[in-house]
Chain A
Amino acid sequence: MTGHPLAAWLRRAVGLALIVGLLISAVAFYRVAPQLPRATPAPPSNTTSSSTATSPTTAGPASQSPDASPSPTASAKRVPPTQAEVKLPPGPGTTEPGILLMASPLRDGSFDVAELVILPSQVRSVRLAPPKLAVGGKSFAGLKPVASEVQMSADDQPVIVPKGRVDSRLEIALVEPSNQMELRYQLHEVTARSIPSRAGRALAVISPLAAGDPSLHVVMMVSGGTVRNIECPMRRGISGQTCAAGRKPNLRAKGELPLSQAVIIVQFDLPRT
């Protein structure tokens, strides 16, 4: 089994060289891995500059100030507040299991949305699904909601969403098990003109993209000077109509909604130009 002594020594020497090389590679990999090329940018926690790129593969998380109402002359899109800019409320999605959804209307009537998700336990895949508009009524008939430029990270590691687009139920496999995720995306085809109403008034149906355990608690915030009101159509009676809390431009749905009822209708004004 051991053969000629010289061959045995040669075998051991080659084996040792390979082992040492692999162990050095392991240490080196551990150090350089964070700089390896990724299809999606580095996690949002260390990126605060705004990006002008729009490709889902290159765009960083938007981080412009959300406090001002949209200026008719401004060319930049408004974006939702980020962790780096606003103090996030403790509760679902930030300090306990649940989802914190932050949305802000864009000039074209679509919404820029950030979702912070904390799950009760680690998972290996996540289900994403666009909002169901039926709850909004006939005004939304014919619209096909789609989330585009979807960026996702799990435990600060980027996760690829095919084509950066979610227009139907989608199962996303995670490379490593995780219970903490963040999603950034633009939500299109969720807005309908409010008729009859004041010119420019619109309604939008928003719900979390992250689907799953219906009992998960959700906090939903909408910011922007053009936002007028928030309704919770899944809540019955007057509490569904008077769902908004907080002060403009930062409104939120009152209390926490179970994921199965986490749908809001945002009333807002579209810009004139």
Chain B
Amino acid sequence: MNQDLLDLALGANRVLTYAGYVLLAGTLTFWSVVWPDGRRNGRLVVLALAGTAAMIIGTLAGPAIQLIFAGRLLGDIVTPLGGAAQLARLAALVAAMFFLPDIISGAVVGWRRILALTVVLVIAASMVAQSDAIGGPWEVTKIAVTGLHVLATCAWLGGLVALAAVLIPGDRVEELDQLIPRFSRVAMLSVATLVVTGIIHAVAVAGGLSPLIGSRYGLVLVIKVAIFGFMLLMGNHGRKYAARAAFRQRHLVPDVPGKNVGVSGLAVAMGAELCIAFVILSTTSLLVMVAPHP
């Protein structure tokens, strides 16, 4: 396999891993923080299982692609810390897979919440251990901000996917009033964390503000930030739309009986938001590939 194809395969695998992380960790966080009673929702269970499967495939496929198609040896492609982190992540994924029925056997509070959040923390830590936060100057700062960035990503994007999965069918308007305010608080905190940690991380990785501005890494980062800003606008629009829809559903008689126009509009807004989220994940994968050149 030539280098371009190899880079493409590894990039696609990275997107799969990030998507899996968002689905699994996001759903577990959503259950733990936003909607403990949402354990009965079959769509959320499917999201968690799909995320687990994607992460297992992504975790195993990364080294496998390089071993099989690039002909590299294990010692060349996995560092001691990186390999140990991947195995620890697999342990967390096995825990998610085998103990999910226990986590959702009751409201996700108490020990169930602790178990769910422990799985999220272990997976997030394993991703930090494999990131560019390890080594170089400002290591402690980079580890801290990368950890917070990764956790905020799952809380926001994962929560958004989970919220969409719950609300888009359009028959759960009664839950809008309950979920959207809770999720909005989590989302606001997550977005603030993403902005602050993102800035610090970018400057630390690039080695200062000047190198960041003049590099390809900086350019892709600007594109990501622009998409991120657009997504925030879309999210804000979606949430306002949802609030109005909930109000109409509760207090006004619909113009066309049986047709849930408000929630359909919400579905469009959230669908667009999720598409942008996927673009952001892809851009993040690209950022990893175009980190500063010497």
Give residues in A with beta carbon < 8 Å to B: 1-3, 8, 11-12, 14-16, 18-19, 22-23, 25-27, 29-31, 33-34, 36-40, 117, 119-127, 155, 157-160, 171, 173, 175-179, 210-213, 216
> Which residues in window 111-140 of B have CB below 8 A to A?
132, 134-136
Q: Which chain B residue lies CB-closest to A122?
A: B136
Interface status of B205 (Cβ within 8 A of chain A): yes
* B293: chain A residues within 8 A (beta carbon): 123, 125-127, 212-213
The smallest beta-carbon distance between B145 and chain A, in angstroms, is: 15
- Nearest residue (CB) in A for B136 is A122
Query: Complex formed: what's the CA distance from A27 to B81 in Å?
Result: 10
**Residue on A nearest B39 in the bound complex, by CB:** A1
Pick from A19, A34, A39, A157: contact of B95, CB below 8 A: A19
Please indicate the chain B residues that have their CB under 8 angstroms from the CB of A36 in the complex: 73-75, 78
Instruction: Determine how close the nearest CB of chain A comes to the CB of B139; give it in whole angstroms.
Output: 10
B75 & A121 in contact (Cβ 8 Å cutoff): no
Does B231 belong to the interface (CB within 8 Å)? no
Contact A120 to B104, CB < 8 A, known contacts A15-B99, A19-B94, A160-B72: no
For residue A18, which residues in chain B have a CB less than 8 angstroms away from its CB?
Answer: 91, 94, 98
Check: B61 CB closer than 8 A to any chain A CB: no
Q: Provide a sorted-by-A list of 9 A–B residue pairs whose CB atoms are within 8 angstroms.
A: A18-B94, A33-B79, A38-B75, A121-B205, A122-B292, A124-B132, A173-B3, A175-B82, A211-B294
Which residues on the A side are within 8 Å of B206 (C-beta)? 121
Q: How far is the CB of A266 from chain B (nearest CB, A)?
A: 24
Which residues from chain B contact A38 at a C-beta distance below 8 Å? 73, 75-76
Q: Is B229 an interface residue (CB 8 A)?
A: no
Closest 10 CB pairs of A and B: A15-B98, A121-B207, A212-B294, A36-B75, A33-B80, A26-B87, A177-B132, A22-B91, A38-B75, A30-B84
B178 in the interface, Cβ–Cβ < 8 Å? no
- Chain A residues contacting B82 (CB-CB under 8 Å) are 175-176
Report yes or no: B83 in contact with A33, Cβ–Cβ below 8 A. yes
Partner of A37, one of B3, B74, B79, B208: B74
Q: Mostly helix, strand, loop or mixed at chain B's interface? A: helix
> Could you tell me the distance between the alpha carbons of A23 and B92 in the complex, rounded to whole angstroms?
9
Contact partners of A34 in chain B: CB under 8 A: 80
CA gap between A228 and B139 in the complex, in Å: 45
8 Å CB contacts to A: which residues of B57-92? 72-85, 87-88, 90-91
User: Does B174 count as interface, using CB distance less than 8 angstroms?
Assistant: no
| Interchain CB contact under 8 A, B83 and A39 | no
Q: Say yes or no for B200: interface residue by CB 8 A criterion.
A: no
B223 within 8 A of A: no
Q: Which residues of A contact B102 (CB under 8 A)?
A: 2, 8, 12
Number of interface residues of B (CB under 8 A): 45
Specify which of B84, B207, B208, B294 lies most central, judged by the most chain A CB atoms within 10 Å of its CB: B294
Out of A2, A14, A210, which one reaches B98, CB within 8 Å? A14
A12-B78 contact, Cβ under 8 Å, with A19-B91, A121-B206: no
Task: Write out the residue numbers on chain B whose beta carbons fall within 8 Å of the beta carbon of A26.
Answer: 83-85, 87-88, 91
In contact, B79 and A29 (Cβ under 8 angstroms): no
CB-CB under 8 A from A120, the residues of chain B are 207-208, 211
In the complex, residue of chain B having the shortest beta-carbon distance to the beta carbon of A157? B79
Given contacts A37-B75, A125-B289, 17 further A-B pairs with CB under 8 A are A2-B105, A18-B98, A19-B91, A23-B87, A25-B87, A27-B84, A30-B80, A30-B83, A33-B80, A38-B73, A119-B207, A122-B135, A122-B205, A124-B288, A173-B3, A176-B132, A216-B294
Query: Which residue of chain B has its CB nearest to the CB of A127?
Result: B293
Residue of A nearest to B207 (CB): A121
Q: Is the CB of A178 within 8 A of B84?
A: no
Contact residues of B between 222 and 274, Cβ < 8 Å to A: none
Interface residue? B7 (CB, 8 A): yes
Q: In this assembly, does B97 line the interface, its C-beta being within 8 Å of a C-beta of chain A?
A: yes
Is B181 interfacial (CB 8 A cutoff)? Answer: no
Does B134 lie within 8 Å of A176, measured CB to CB? yes
Which chain A residue has the least Cβ–Cβ distance from B88?
A26
In the assembled complex, which residues on chain B have CB atoms less than 8 Å from the CB atom of A127?
Answer: 293-294
B78 surroundings in chain A (CB, below 8 A): 33, 36, 175
- Inter-chain CA distance A155–B82, complex, in Å, is 14
B289 touches A124 (CB 8 A): yes
Contact between A213 and B72 (Cβ–Cβ < 8 Å)? no
Q: Take A2-B101, A124-B289 as given contacts and tell me if A22 and B79 are in contact as well, using a CB distance cutoff of 8 Å.
A: no
Give bound CA distance, A26 to B3, whole Å.
Answer: 30
